[in-house]
Chains A and B, each alone.
Chain A
Amino acid sequence: MASASVVSLAERLKQRRDELGISQSQAARELDVARTAYRLWEMEAAKPAPDRWRLIASWLGVSVTTMLLAEDLVSEDEAGLGDIVAFDFGRPGRASTRSAGESNFFAQARNLIAEGTESGDITSEHAHDLTFLVERIEKERSKMQTSAWEATELRKSLPANEHAPKAARDALSFVGADIPEEPLQTALLLASELVTNSVVHGPSDPSTVGLLISVERDVLRVEISDGSPHAARPKTRGEGGGLGLAFVAEMASRWGSGRDAGVNVTWFELDLPLPGATPV
């Protein structure tokens, strides 16, 4: 273990390749880089970019932190903390399970540094730099958490029948899987109302309902269109329209309706609490 921190990346790559009994080309393929790039790494003539670190570390069978300890891969100026954040923690504003895994990661990193310092694997200078780096990443990351929900857009054309509201809700549940329960439930109700209205009052030919769901930053938008370029021919008027629109008017952050190129469009938007904000 003590020797691990003094072996250069180039040596480790060679050792690993020997262990596996494979050529440079094969290693390059496994690491998803050009053979030339891989050769330069082994020659210590070039260093892998941050977005390669995780793959290389896992190929070497070590953690990224351990790998970085051995190398001068990280310097504050050249490493670009943004890259590290992006590659190591996945997409911003996504996955509610993220926070647990993430705090684990930071705790783990600190533990590793502490252990390494204790055992003498890491010099106190190294430990200082690494702690600084972990803190920087954590700080950057917490900024990203409050930035936005992942932008998503889903378009669907549904047959205009009694199953359309459920189909629209299913699509919305899928797109909004990460959105907090309360706004999601509201969105499901309002989308169901607009689709129901479209099924009941929309044109009968062609009998489809257009659904557009989008999430951008902190706004969920749902747009329902009658899906027909022809003038609307109302079907038998059923109950439903009034109350459904009352829900939309009461619960949506914004809503509206109009005719666009002969198609009836009704939409609503819900403002979402930003990811990372205090949970509802």
Chain B
Amino acid sequence: MEQLTITPLVPPQHGFHLIGELDMATVTQFKTALEAASENGPVTLDLAQLTFIDSSGLYAVMEFARSRNGNGPLILLSPTATARRAIAIAGLDGQPGVEVR
């Protein structure tokens, strides 16, 4: 039915490439992946092929950014126009430790 594919980025980059849609149905899968990424250093989420994200997904991103607690920035890479707007309204782009590129 609904699909989210999460692929680890190629080292030395840490993070994930997200393909598909992130909402309440796929957020658990996303959170599980994030738990595996709690190393030090920058973590990148490549959002270029994430065709949809709503507040369910953005809350998970915000929570993860907070939980990193200074362990290097969380980089949100290439969100779609609508995702970028949602990120701005959520104030994620101004949150300490979060970079939107």
Contact = CB atoms under 8 A, between A and B. Distances in A.
Interface of A: 162-163, 165-166, 169, 182, 185-186, 188-189, 192-193, 196, 199-200, 239-240, 243-244, 246-247, 250-251
Given A166-B23, A188-B52, A243 B85 contact: no
A244 B25 contact: no
The list of the 8 closest CB pairs from A to B, nearest first, reads: A243-B55, A185-B82, A162-B25, A244-B55, A192-B54, A166-B2, A165-B23, A162-B24
Contacts of B55: 193, 196, 240, 243-244, 247
Interface string B28-60: 000000000000000000000000101110110
Given A193-B55, A196-B56, A247-B55, A166 B25 contact: yes
Contacts of A200: 24
A45 B2 CA distance: 62
A122 B82 CA distance: 55
Interface of A is mostly: helix
27 contacts: A162-B24, A163-B1, A163-B2, A165-B24, A165-B25, A165-B54, A165-B56, A166-B2, A166-B23, A169-B21, A169-B52, A182-B81, A192-B52, A192-B54, A193-B54, A196-B23, A196-B54, A196-B55, A240-B56, A240-B59, A243-B59, A244-B54, A244-B55, A246-B89, A247-B54, A247-B55, A247-B89
B9 interface: no
A32 B80 CA distance: 50
B77 interface: no
Interface in B55-69: 55-56, 58-59
Residue among B25, B52, B55, B56 with the most chain A CB within 10 A?
A: B55
Contact of A247 (B23, B25, B86): B86
Contacts of B23: 165-166, 192, 196
